[in-house]
Amino acid sequence: MTPPALDGVSVLDLTHCVAGPYCTRLLAGFGADVLKIEPPGGERGRRMAPFFRDEPGPDSSLPFAYLNTGKRGMTLNLKTAEGRGILRSLLPEADVLVENFAPRVMPSLGLDYAALREIAPHLVMVSISNFGQTGPYRDYKAADIVEYALGGLMYIFGAYDREPLKHAWNQAQFKAGTDAASATLMALYHQRMTGGRTVGQGQRVDVSIQEAVASGLRDVVNNYTYTGAVRRRQPNHSGDMQRLRATADGYLLPNPGLGSGLNWDSFVEFLGLPELDDDRFRTPSARLVNAEELGRILDEYFIGQNKYDMFYGSHRRRFIFGVIQSPEETLNDPQFAHRDYFVEAEHPVMGRLKFPGVPFSMEATPWQAGNPAPAIGQHNGQVLGRRLGYTAAQQAQLRSQGVI
């Protein structure tokens, strides 16, 4: 059997909540040995809703279970000298350390990159923070919506006659986690090319969530830089051809793709609406002038249609229709099923859970969900005893002192 792509790579995971855990989850799925290090009592992500059967508990957070599959886990109080000493003793055999504390935290513990590099010059240290390790916003707190706002993307989302919008859930965090995983692999490749874990060159990787969001601006920045044009949010008039339409069983995005070489006549023929075969609707300018009438006709038509009948029929005619799928419909989508995108993992508390996989496929070394998210301190004995040589009595003393 071909070994995993990251077989032999050792990662110390000091992360919490979303961005950092998602980065290390991606690495674990490709075979890296990820050791999640949490404070005694567990990291904050264990308290993220929703919970299994709506019962909060350290092993019932569904986001935590998703973000931490494939990892081992131990507890370590880095506010104690003993805890920091144990972390330092793990560094020589680690390739990567990932953390997403506020920029002031690691230096305040004496665990900044300069200090860690003295122990392990080969170490790749990945730091994920709201605004990066430098700059005037460095120590500002932020939430996902703040990153969207200050990253510039929020300005162009939503209708121009309403306030800006952001995507649901923690998309800025997930984007930063993906960027951090990519950057980790590039730094790791450099480490291997310069000698590996023994004499290879490590480096600091600084990931800003604000910059991860801003990387999606693309043409917005170019348009402003070269022409002074400011892209505004889209209109929301009822005749907008990219407006969502209610159907008999949900919602549909009936985009005819008129800018892709398709014409109005073929769209009208597909819908079977002769009243649209009119000069009032034939051109974009005419449709804008008669937007209210066009919107009324389209709304009355689509409310009587089945969304999937329209979706499959439209794509046979090469239109760009989209179905708004519920969570249940998404999980049962035949495209996802064909590509085995959603994966299952057996959790000791919650049973069999289904999670999203990764949005790409590798033929020889595929991504795997791996073991379930670790319980708090599940592998303390394995790491402290077998790897570092602590006796059972010494481990008990560390526990009584609040070190683990």
Q: How far apart are CA 86 and CA 88, in angstroms?
A: 5
258 shares a domain with 204 = no
Answer whether residue 188 is part of any domain. yes
Q: Are 153 and 298 members of one domain?
A: no
Instruction: Return the closest-CA partner of residue 141 out of 42, 12, 17.
Output: 17
Range from 101-105, 130-134, 156-160, 200-204 carrying the lowest mean pLDDT: 156-160
The answer to whether residue 343 scores a pLDDT higher than 70 is: yes
Neighbours of 337 (CB within 10 A): 11
pLDDT surpassing 60 at residue 260: no
CA atoms within 13 A on the CB side of 204: 16
On whether residue 287 sits in a domain, the answer given is yes
Q: What is the pLDDT of residue 258?
A: 63
CATH value at residue 200: 3.40.50.10540
Q: Which ranges constitute the DSSP H helices of 162-280?
A: 171-193, 196-199, 209-214, 219-227, 264-271
- Whether residue 177 sits in one domain with residue 212: yes
- Cα–Cα dist 218/390, whole Å: 53
Residue pair 21/67 in contact (Cβ under 8 Å)? The answer is yes
**Which of 323, 355, 371 marks a domain boundary?**
323
Element (H, E) at 157: none
Low-confidence winner among 29-43, 153-167, 169-183 (lowest mean pLDDT): 153-167
In-domain check, residue 35 = yes
Residues 75 and 194 in one domain: yes
Per-residue pLDDT averaged across 241-256, rounded? 91
Smallest CA-to-CA distance from 152 within 235, 215, 225 is with 215
Same domain, 299 and 384: no
pLDDT for residue 321: 94
Domain boundary (294, 323, 352) is at 323
| Whole-angstrom distance, CA of residue 311 vs CA of residue 293 | 24
pLDDT confidence bin for 213, thresholds 50/70/90: very high
Residue 380 lies in a domain: yes
Pair (116, 265) in one structural domain = no
Range of the domain at 89: 10-217+338-400
Q: If pLDDT is split at 50, 70 and 90, which confidence band does 214 have?
A: very high
- Is 288 part of any domain? yes
Residue 187 belongs to some domain of the structure: yes
Domain shared by 17 and 151, yes or no: yes
pLDDT at 160: 80
Q: Is residue 227 part of a domain?
A: no
The verdict on 380 and 297 lying in the same domain is no
Beta-bridged to residue 51, according to DSSP, are 61
pLDDT surpassing 70 at residue 307: yes
Residue 152: which pLDDT band, with cuts at 50, 70 and 90? very high
State how beta strands 245-247 and 250-255 pair: antiparallel
User: Are 193 and 64 found together in one domain?
Assistant: yes
Confidence of residue 316 (pLDDT cuts 50, 70, 90): very high
Residues 187-210 have pLDDT tens digits of 999 999 999 988 999 999 999 999
Q: Are residues 309 and 385 in the same domain?
A: no
Is the domain of 70 the same as that of 191? yes
Among 323, 355, 380, the domain-final residue is 323
Mean pLDDT of the chain: 93
Q: CATH number of the domain that 273 lies in?
A: 3.30.1540.10
d(CA 76, CA 96): 18
163 in any annotated domain: yes
Q: Give the number of domains in the chain.
A: 2
Together in a domain, 14 and 118? yes
